[in-house]
Amino acid sequence: MDEFYHLNKDPKAPDAKPTWVNWNFGKHSFAANDARQWAAWGVDYLKYDWFPNDVAHVQEMTDALRATGRDIVYSLSNTGIYDNASDYVRLSNLWRTTGDIVDTWDSVTRNGFNQDRWAAYTGPGHWSDPDMLVLGRVGWGPNLHPTRLTPDEQYSHMSLWCLLSAPLLLGCDLANIDDFTLGLLTNDEVLAINQDALGKQATQFSNVDGKIVYAKTLEDGSYAVGLFNRGDAETTITLKWGPWGNLPTERVGMTFRVRDLWRQQDLGDFKDSFETKVASHGVVLVRLIPTETHP
């Protein structure tokens, strides 16, 4: 397939749907041949990259991969079409929901904080992908540079991707990884939120003045909650149990043990609410663990 394309919109019809030009699928398909060759080579992961991801060609490669008998992870890239989400679930293992990410706060927040509509389609075996992690030394070829994200922005980036149950694809130079980046990528309690067997995607239940709270239900009945500060100054964020997207109304009045996952320490038992300071562009990532079975 020719990968060259651009968006062509009729200026006389600004609300019209865009049309795509200068791309096309070839007359002859090599999907089956390619899949057999990849299987023979021992390939484990296919990133199939074109846009728009039309269902017919997704299906073609799905059938070709399955026919090889090899378990190959099938990733669609990029910018998945939301109306095709149910087909992506059926036919692939993960699909890009965004354009390409870069190592800036604007890019990370644009990709990460706009995923709620995909939550219904995320689960074991099929995952929404807001693109790779831009932590550590990143870039192209020999032109690598330390990520432009501040330390607090890096904590936010990793926390949000774990809450979203996003694929944790590393875009950094692993041969020259620094201690700070290694710590970000190897905190067992944080990774457990991403790897939780229930496979839920966190959703946003509060967004006021740049104070954003995400929550997801975990398999053991506890909750992972991220309190994010998109503002330019430190602020205080209050979390109240109650009728939000992932924490049922019957939790009102319950006491939770609140555990800080980055610091790996308990913060105490709290009833009805929890309040904390959050650095600019930073996050406090906690796990709420019920201390009683009834309100």
> What residues are annotated to the active site?
49, 100
Non-local CB neighbours of 115 within 8 Å, separated by 6+ positions: 97, 128, 130, 164, 201
Strand order in the sheet with 73-77: 45-49, 73-77, 94-96, 127-129
Phi and psi at residue 46, in whole multiples of 5°? -120, 120
Nearest to 55 by CA among 77, 87, 78: 87
Phi and psi at residue 247, in whole multiples of 5°? -115, 110
